[in-house]
Amino acid sequence: MSRRRPVVPGAGRGLDQFKAEVMKREGYAFNAERPDQVKYEVARTLGIPLQAPGANGQLTTEQAGKVGGRIGGTMVREMIRMAQEQLAQGPRRR
């Protein structure tokens, strides 16, 4: 399990759901009950031998970065797309 925590308390579930949606659109299988597991599928598709937590001392920084970058980069690109779409719609009235 990841040791990182969202800056906003309680946002973890929403981030996991967002990750699930984004990674499903990218063609990866995603288990909503175990969102951290998508990294293993990403690693497999990249040919990186990612194993259970604590057993990856053989991975290079480059290999680990490729896995995390594929997931995080995809999420960031989607967030940017969503923000641009919102900006294009103009100011929101309250």
Phi and psi at residue 91, to the nearest 5°: -65, 145
Rg of the chain taking only CA atoms, in angstroms:
16
Phi/psi for 56 (5° steps) reads -120, 30
Residues 6+ apart with CB under 8 A from 34: none
**Segment 32-89, tens digit of pLDDT:** 778 778 888 899 999 999 887 777 778 889 998 999 899 999 999 999 999 999 999 9
Residues 9-35, mean pLDDT to the nearest whole number:
85
Of residues 87 and 29, the one with the higher pLDDT is 87
Instruction: Decide: 58 and 49 in contact? Cβ < 8 Å.
Output: yes
- CA pair distance 90, 54, nearest whole angstrom: 47
Q: Count other C-beta atoms under 10 Å from residue 30's C-beta.
A: 19
User: What is the reported pTM?
Assistant: 0.74
Q: Reply yes or no on whether the pLDDT at 3 is more than 70.
A: no
Q: Is 70 exposed, middle or buried (0-12, 13-18, 19+ CB in 10 A)?
A: buried
